[in-house]
Chain A
C-alpha cells in the first residue's frame, strides 16, 4: 500500500469517527432535550393540578375531622340529653360503663365545672382540672358541645380526643375517644402522601416531597426514603428552588426533576433518567448503527476500490478512470458506485430514523396511556369499594344513633313528643325522629309528617319496617332518593320495649346523608375521570359497557351518545386496546381497559414527540448527508499522483493470485466479476485478497446485517436485564398493542425474524460442524437438516409475522390444508422432488462426493438438496438436477472403473507379433501412467472389422481418472505401434484420373428400350410376391 493511500485511509477513518461522534452527540441531545421538554410540559401542568389537589386534600382533612368530631360531640350531647331528660341516666361509674358500651366510645366521664371527676367509666391519664382543658369548659358558656381537645404523647402511649357537653351549670359529660380511625382516614384521603401517591408522570415518574425546613424527605414512593435526609440521599440544596428543572440525583438514581415550592414543602416531580435514556438510547443506538453501517460501507468500498486499483495500476485502461481537474483528479470508477451506495444509505438512514422516532414516540405514548388507564381502573375499583364501605359505615353510625334513641325512649316513653324529639334529633345530629307503636302507626315525630301508618304495599319504602314489628331488632335501609323531593334519604329503625321487655313499637330516624351523598358523588365515574392528565393534552373518557354510550367525556355534549356513532369502531371497545381511534373526526392515540361497568379510555393527540419526528429526521438526514458528502469527496478526489510513486507501486509482487474462482459475467451490458459456479457451493472461505471490492463490501454489509440480527436476538433474550420492565422494548415484545398493520406489529415481526434467523443460523452452523466429522451419509443428512431448518424458519417467520400483522392465524392454519392442496397441484413437482430427495438420501443411491452418471451426464455429487441435486461434471460446470428427474443412476463410485481403448491393426500384420510386443510393453505403460490401478490388460481381438483387426486394451483405475486415462492409453498405444512399426489402418482416399465416357447411339437407345420392355413383360407374374426384393441388397454391410 502506498503512503498516499495510507494517508487517505487514515483521513477517511478520522472522518468516519468524527461523523459518528457528531451524529451520536446530536441524536442523544435532541432525544433527551425532546423528552425533557415533553416531561417539563407535563410537570408544569401537574404542578398546577397538584396545587388544587393539595388544597382539596386539606379540605378533605378538615371535613373528615369535623365529621369525626361531630360524631363524638353528638355522643356527648346524647348523654347530656339523657341526663337532662331522666332517660336512664345516673351519675354512677356503673351507668357510665353501660353508656360507654351503648355509645361505643373509649371512655365517659362526668365532671364538675373545674374538671373534678364525679363519675367515670374507667381510668384516664387526663387531669381535666388543667387549663389545658379550658376548651371543654367552654360548653358551659356556649351550651353547645365543646370543641375537641387532643392530647398526643407517644411516649406515654396517650393519643386521645376529648369532647364535652354541659349537663347543667355544674356538671358536664366528657367523651374520651382515640382518634386512630380519624388519623387513618386522613392518612388515606387527606395526607400529602395520599395525594402524591396518585400522581404519575410519564411512565415511571412520580412526585416526592421534601420539607423545606429540615430537608427531610416527607414523601417518596420508596418508603425507605421517607424520613431520610434529602441532602444525604444525594439532592443538592442549591437545586431546591421553586420552578427549577434539571437532573438531580436521589439515592443514586438520576432523575429529571422539576421543583415546586408550596408552603414549606418542596414538591419535586421526577422522571428517572433511565426512563428517558432507555427508550431514547435504543432509538439513538439503532439510528447510529444504521448510519455507521452506511458510512462504513461507503468508506470501505472506496478503500477497497482504491487498493484494488493500486494493484492493477499498471494494467491497461487504468488511466481512463480518472478525470483531471487542475491539481485534483476525480476517480470515476469509485464515484459511480460510491454515489449509489451513498444515496441508498442516505435513504436508509432517513427511513430508519423516521421509523425509530415513530416507534419511540408511539410506544412511549402507549406505555404512558396504558399506565394511566390502569391507574384509573384501580382508582375506579377503589372508589367503588370505598363507596360500599362508606355506605356501610354510615349505616352503622346511624344505627348506633337509632339504638341510643330507642334506649332513651325505652327509659322514658314520655319523651315521645314533638319538642322532646326535636331536642333528641339535635343531640343525635339528625333530621327526623319518628316513634311508632306496635301496630305501625306513627305516634310522634319532630317532622311535619302527621297521621302516618306503615304501608301495606311491599313496593312502598315504609313497608320494609313492618319487619320490626315481627321480631327483627333493627333495620338499616339503603339510602334512596326521596319520593317527593328526590333527595337522598335514609331510614333506620330500632325496636322499643317497655320495662318488661315487651315490644312497644320502634324508633325510626330519617337522615339526609349529605356527607355520604357527597362522598358517593366523588366516586362517580365522571369525578374519577375529570381532570385526569395523560401527557400534555391527554384526557380520559368512559363508555358504558351495556349500551356503548359515553358515560363520561370531557365535552358534556358527548355524554350519552353512542360511541359507534361518533366514529369509534366496535372492535375498539375492548380491554387492552391500544391504537389510534377517531372520535368526531379527530384522531387520538388511545389505550383502554375494562372495569365492571365501563370501558375506560385514555386518549391523547399524537403529542410533541410525534410532531417532532419530521424535524428530527431531517436534522439526522442533513448530518448524514454532510458526513457522506465529505467521505465521498475524500474518496473520489485525489491529488495528481507523483510519477515515481507509480513506478514504485508497479513493482508490488503479484502474489500468486488464483483467480480461478472469480469469473467475469455479463449482467445487462456490464461486466461484473462473480464467483464461479463451482465455488459457490463449496464452503471454502474466501481469501479476502482475492475478492473484488463489491464482494468485500457485500461481505462487510452482511457482517453488519448479521451483527444487527444478533444484537436484536441478544436484546430479546436479555430484555429484562438490559431494558427493565415497562421499557419500549418490553412493550413491543409484550404484544399488548393491537394486531394489525401498525408500527409495533412490523417491529415485532422484524424482531421475531431476527430471533428465528439467529436460531436457525446457529442450528445450521452446528449441523455444518457436525457434518464435518461425519461420513458421507451423515453429511447428506446434515445438509438436508440444514435445508429443513432453513425452510422451517422461513415458513415459521411468515406465519408468525402474518399473525402479528393481524391476519387470523387460525384461519391461516385451517386454510393450510386447502393451501397444501393448491400447492400440491401447482407445485406437484416440488413435492415429488422432495420425496425423491428423501429416497435418494435414505436409500443411499448416492451420496455427496459420489461420482454418478445420470441421463448421460456424469459428475461428482456436490450437494443433495431437498429439491435439487447438484453435480459437478469435473470441468467446473454445475449440473443442477431436480431430484425427481434423477433416475437410472449409475453410481460409479463404489468399484474401480476401467479405461478401455480399442486399436485396429492391419490384416497383414502378424497378430502373434503384436501380442508378443504387448506382453513386453504393457507393464511399462503401467509404470508411466500412475493412474492405473491394475493392468493394462490385453483383452484379445474384439472384431475383425472391414479394414482392421481390432484389439482391446483395458486398465483398472479410479472413476475420476477414467477419462484422462483413456486418452493416455490411446496415446501410449499409438506411440507403441509407431515404435514397432505396426501399422494402424486408416481410410485412404484414392484419387483417379477422369475418363471420357462414350455416348450411346440412337440404335443402342432403341435396342435398350426394347429390352426393358421385354424384360418387364417377362417378369410381370412375379412382382406381387416379391415386393421387398430390393431391400435385400443393403443388409449385409457388416
Chain B
C-alpha cells in the first residue's frame, strides 16, 4: 500500500468516481462496487482483484495440498496470502506448480507469481524477477542408515539421485568437482541425461521426489540430493543427512515475470514482511 504514488491514487480515485457515476442508477450494487474500488485503489491497477500464485502441493510445511479439503497449507501459502493482502488483492488463487512446469506457467502468465520453493539463482534471474529471499535453505544429500555411509567419501563409486528439473544435479556436479571428489567429466550418458556416468559416481534423475525417495528406499540409488526444505517430507528414522556435505546454500524468493509491474511491489511487500518480522513469525509457526 505504501507504494501507491499520488498519480496512481488519483487515477484510481477517478476510476472509482466514474464507476460510481456510471452506476448511479442502481443503488446497492453500484455503490458497493464504487466504494470497494475506492477503498482498494490498487485493485484497479491490477488486471483483476485476484492474485494468481503458483505454489507447491507436495512439500509439507511450505506448500501442501490437503486432498481431503482441497486447501493448501504451509509457510509459502501464508506468505502468498499475506502478500496478496499487502498488495490489496481481495482473493488469492493458488495453482499447483511442479519444478517441471513452474517456469512455463510464469512465463506464459498463467500465474502472476511463484511462491514455490523456488531458489534464487543467476540462471533464473535472467528470466524472472525475484523478491528478497524469505527462506534460506541448503541442498543436501540423504542416505539410508542401513547403507552405513557417514561421509561423502564413503560414496565413491555410488549412485546419486536427483529430481529432474530441479537445479540440484548441476550444483552437485560442481560441488563434487570443487571438493575433489570427481573431475566433473561425463563418461557416458543416456539420451535424456537421466542416467549419467561420471568418473567416481553415477547420476540418476527421477521425474518426482516420490520416485526419488522410493529409489533410495529400494537401494537403486545410494543417496538423494535435494533441497533441505523438501527433504523434510521424505525423512524418517531410517535415513539421515550426510553431515559433512552441503551441495549449495540457496534462498527461496518470490518469482515474478521479468520487469513486470508487479515485481517491485512484490519485492517491497516481501521486504516489508521481513522488516516487521512477519516472515520470522510465520517460519516459527510452521516449524
What residues make up the interface of A, taking CB atoms closer than 8 Å to B? 125-127, 130-136, 138, 147, 149-153, 155-156, 158, 213-216, 227-229, 231-232, 237
Complex CA gap A131/B215 in Å reads 12
Identify the closest chain B residue to A137 (Cβ): B148
Per a CB cutoff under 8 Å, which of A136, A147, A213, A232 touches B60?
A213
Q: Check: B136 CB closer than 8 A to any chain A CB.
A: no
Provide the bound-state CA to CA distance between A896 and B258, in Å: 120
> Given contacts A215-B73, A229-B66, is CB(A135)–CB(B219) below 8 Å?
no
B68: interface (CB < 8 Å)? yes
- A155 CA to B217 CA in the complex, in Å? 12
Query: In whole angstroms, how far apart are the Cα atoms of A133 and B217 in the complex?
Result: 11
Q: Does B144 lie at the interface of the complex (its beta carbon under 8 Å from any beta carbon of A)?
A: yes
Complex: how many Å from CA A932 to CA B57?
Answer: 107
Give every chain A residue within 8 A of B90 (Cβ-Cβ): none
Interface membership of chain B positions 212-244, coded 1 if the CB is closer than 8 angstroms to chain A and 0 otherwise: 001011111010000000001000001000000
Contacting residues, chain A, for B220 (C-beta < 8 A): 130
B89 at the A interface (CB under 8 A): no
- Minimum Cβ distance to chain B for residue A164 (Å): 11
Query: Is B238 touching A227 in the complex (CB atoms < 8 A)?
Result: no
Asked if B146 and A149 sit within 8 Å, CB to CB, the answer is yes
B146, B218, B285: the one contacting A135 at CB < 8 Å is B146
Contact of B147 among A131, A216, A227 (CB under 8 A): A131
CB-CB contacts below 8 Å: B268-287 with A: 285-287
Seed contacts A133-B147, A151-B219, A229-B66; 17 additional CB < 8 Å A-B pairs: A127-B218, A127-B219, A130-B218, A130-B220, A132-B147, A132-B218, A133-B146, A134-B148, A135-B146, A150-B238, A151-B217, A153-B218, A213-B60, A214-B61, A228-B69, A229-B69, A229-B73
**In the complex, which residue of chain B has the Cβ closest to the Cβ of A230?**
B73
Q: How many angstroms between the C-alpha atoms of A214 and B61 in the bound complex?
A: 6
CA–CA, A237 and B285, complex, Å: 8
Number of A-B contacts (CB under 8 A): 74
- Would you give the shortest CB distance from A116 to chain B, in whole angstroms? 14
B187 interface contact, C-beta 8 A: no
Nearest CB of B to A308, in Å? 57
Give every chain A residue within 8 A of B148 (Cβ-Cβ). 134-135, 138
10 nearest A-B residue pairs (beta carbon): A132-B219, A130-B219, A135-B146, A149-B146, A134-B148, A131-B147, A214-B60, A131-B222, A232-B69, A229-B66
Q: How far is the CA of A237 from the CA of B220 in the complex (A)?
A: 40
Given the complex, which residues of B lie within 8 Å of A215, measured CB to CB?
Answer: 73
Which residues B195-224 have CB closer than 8 A to chain A? 214, 216-220, 222
| CB <8 Å contact, A131 and B158 | yes
Bound: A232/B68 CA distance, A: 10
Among residues of A, the one whose C-beta sits closest to the C-beta of B157 is: A131
Given contacts A135-B147, A213-B61, contact A228 B222 (CB under 8 A): no
Contacts of B217 in A (CB 8 A): 151-153
Which residues of chain A have C-beta atoms less than 8 A from B245's C-beta?
A: none
Are A132 and B222 touching (Cβ within 8 A)? yes
Q: Which residues of B contact A153 (CB under 8 A)?
A: 214, 217-218
With an 8 Å Cβ cutoff, the count of chain B residues facing the other chain is: 28
How many Å from the CB of B259 to the closest CB on chain A?
37
Chain A residue numbers with a CB within 8 Å of B285 are 237
Verify if B9 is at the interface (C-beta below 8 Å from A): no
Cα of A361 to Cα of B181 in the assembled complex, Å: 74
Complex CA gap A229/B74 in Å reads 12
CA gap between A862 and B145 in the complex, in Å: 102
B149 close to A (CB within 8 Å): yes
Distance of A14 from chain B, by nearest CB (Å)? 39
Given contacts A135-B148, A138-B148, contact A228 B61 (CB under 8 A): no
* A127: B residues at CB distance < 8 A: 218-219
B136-183: which residues lie under 8 A (CB-CB) from chain A?
144-149, 158
Interface contact A232-B222, CB-CB below 8 Å: no
Chain A residues with Cβ below 8 Å from B74 are: 214
Q: Could you show 14 A-B contacts with beta carbons less than 8 Å apart?
A: A127-B218, A131-B147, A132-B147, A132-B222, A133-B146, A138-B148, A151-B219, A155-B214, A213-B60, A227-B68, A228-B68, A229-B68, A229-B69, A237-B285
Inter-chain contacts of B144 with A (CB < 8 A):
132
In the complex, B64 has a CB within 8 A of chain A: yes
A228's nearest neighbour on chain B, judged by CB, is: B68
In the complex, residue of chain A having the shortest beta-carbon distance to the beta carbon of B232:
A213
B123 to chain A, nearest CB (A): 31
CB-CB < 8 A to B238: which residues of A? 150
Q: How far is the CB of B258 from chain A (nearest CB, A)?
A: 34
Check: B124 CB closer than 8 A to any chain A CB: no
A978 to B: closest C-beta gap in Å: 98
Chain A residues whose C-beta falls within 8 Å of the C-beta of B287 in the assembled complex: 213
| Nearest residue, chain A, Cβ from B60 | A214
Q: How far is the CB of A175 from chain B (nearest CB, A)?
A: 15
B residues in contact with A228, CB < 8 Å: 68-69
Instruction: Assess whether A214 is in contact with B222, with CB atoms less than 8 Å apart.
Output: no
Q: Nearest residue in A to B68 (C-beta to C-beta)? A: A228
Task: Indicate whether A232 sits within 8 Å of B61 (C-beta atoms), given known contacts A151-B218, A153-B217, A237-B285.
Answer: no
**Given the complex of chains A and B, what is the CA–CA distance between A231 and B285 in angstroms?**
13
Kindly state the separation between the CA atoms of A230 and B259 in the bound complex, as whole angstroms. 40
CA–CA, A342 and B36, complex, Å: 60
A232 near B219 with CB under 8 A, answer no
Which B residues lie within 8 Å of A135 (CB)? 145-148
Query: For A138, what are the chain B residues with a Cβ–Cβ distance below 8 Å?
Result: 148
Distance A133 CA – B66 CA, assembled complex (angstroms): 35
Residues of B within 8 A of A131 (CB): 147, 149, 158, 219, 222
Chain B residues lying within 8 Å of A213, measured Cβ to Cβ, are 60-61, 232, 286-287
Measured CA separation A147–B147 after assembly (Å) = 12
Contacts of B147 in A (CB 8 A): 131-135
CB contacts (< 8 Å) of A132 on chain B: these are 144, 146-147, 216, 218-219, 222
Query: Is B66 a contact partner of A232 (Cβ separation < 8 A)?
Result: yes
The interface residues of chain A lying within 8 Å CB-to-CB of B60 are 213-214
